[in-house]
Amino acid sequence: MSTHYKGTEEEIRALDVFIKLNRACDSLGVRLAASATLEDLTVSQFGVLEALYHLGPLCPGELGQKLLKTSGNMTLVVDNLEKRGLIERIRSAKDRRQIKIHLTETGAEMIGRIFPTHLRAIVEEMSVLTAEEQQDLSRLCKKLGKGKP
Amino acid sequence: MSTHYKGTEEEIRALDVFIKLNRACDSLGVRLAASATLEDLTVSQFGVLEALYHLGPLCPGELGQKLLKTSGNMTLVVDNLEKRGLIERIRSAKDRRQIKIHLTETGAEMIGRIFPTHLRAIVEEMSVLTAEEQQDLSRLCKKLGKGKP
DNA sequence: TATAATTATCTCAACATTAAGATATTAGAC
DNA sequence: GTCTAATATCTTAATGTTGAGATAATTATA
């Protein structure tokens, strides 16, 4: 048990899951970052490029929903990608409030090259679990992520 | 399956776990933040106070190890807690490089009051899983967080 | 002991993140 | 059609986060 807290069994159990879950996410993130498969992209920048790569052009708002981030955050991450010429903003003609984010050729080339390498690092990390364990973990995380009805 | 990527079964499985795991962490974090049980503490500030509360005075370096953060980060978080009078820095007499972070009376009162409330919110979130599922999830996260030997 | 290597903390620049609010555009009510 | 609601994006201030490097103190070595 990784907590020193003295509470009911239910509390100790819940706290233990919570800590292990967060720690797994964090340490996995640290190890993947150290694997340098993202080259000089941040995790957020990679997330945006990957979403555009697999789903096509999206608005900042849609990106924020996908990545669970605020619109203000998306503005900055998109700004930084735009400065590097990896994406471009194209204002929608129908609804002039909307802006579609498109991958540039450079951006598409880059994410197309980096994604498979990064995926291999993820597969490698997951290989400490059997296929069945991975399916169990996925199911439990999905249930927990969804929350109460 | 929550990814549109076409790869081997192994790749799709690993990517699916990876996405679900991160999403569970993120959405749990968002919901817990929305529950406002942290009052006006940030997650990092709460983490520091909680560690000091349950483990006693610690150095910034030790806090960084516990929370998987850099020393520079700890400096800032401790700064902000110090400004609010929740902790104090006490330089070690034996090794004058070291600084022990101590909870003040105000800080101990605050974390002692907030922690049980926040824990109840965690228990509530975890209640979508049975006790057995929680134990499974904890075991799988522990294994994954640990990584390859 | 004097010097070198190590350790603990802090500083700095760049990017991330949120919450709250500003701006511009569209859609709905009358 | 005009005024109001709602929507999409952006802005700003405060905090977090890292990586690289500076500073100071200790330990190990010659």
pLDDT at B58 over 70: yes
Nucleotides in C strand less than 7 A from protein CB: 7-13, 15-21, 24-27
Contacts of A136 in chain B (CB under 8 A): 136, 140
Taking the C-alpha atoms of residue B30 and residue A68, their distance in angstroms, rounded to an integer, is: 9
CB pair distance less than 8 Å for B21 and A141: yes
The pLDDT value recorded for residue B33 is 85
> What's the pLDDT tens digit per position in A87-132?
999 999 999 999 999 999 999 999 999 999 999 999 999 999 999 9
Print burial letters for B62-79: b (CB count within 10 Å at least 16), e (below 16).
bbbeebebeeeebeebbe
Where in A3-120 does DSSP place strands (E)? 87-91, 99-103
Question: How close does chain A come to B88, measured CA to CA in Å?
Answer: 23
The pLDDT value recorded for residue A3 is 56
* H helix and E strand count, chain A: 6, 2
Taking the C-alpha atoms of residue B72 and residue A5, their distance in angstroms, rounded to an integer, is: 28
> What's the pLDDT tens digit per position in B35-52?
878 889 999 999 999 999
Residue for token pair 């605050």: B110
Q: What is the mean pLDDT of residues B119-146?
A: 96
Taking the C-alpha atoms of residue A28 and residue B142, their distance in angstroms, rounded to an integer, is: 11
pLDDT at A5 over 70: no
Q: What is the mean pLDDT of residues B113-127?
A: 95
| Backbone torsions φ then ψ of A112, nearest 5 degrees | -65, -30
Contact A120/A114 with Cβ under 8 angstroms?
no
CB pair distance less than 8 Å for B10 and A146: no
The DSSP output letter for B101 is E
Residues whose CB is less than 8 angstroms from the CB of residue A2 and which lie 6 or more positions away in sequence, other chains included: A16, A19, A20, A23
pLDDT at A2 over 60: no
> What's the pLDDT tens digit per position in B62-105?
999 999 999 999 999 999 999 999 999 999 999 999 999 999 99
pLDDT at B29 over 80: yes
- Give the angle subtended at the CA of B46 by the CAs of A3 and B121, to the nearest 5°: 70
pLDDT at A4 over 90: no
Residues whose CB is less than 8 angstroms from the CB of residue B66 and which lie 6 or more positions away in sequence, other chains included: B47, B51, B55, B58
The pLDDT value recorded for residue A39 is 85
Contacts of A31 in chain B (CB under 8 A): 147
- For B:53-92, CB contacts with A below 8 A are 54-55, 68
Q: What is the mean pLDDT of chain B?
A: 93
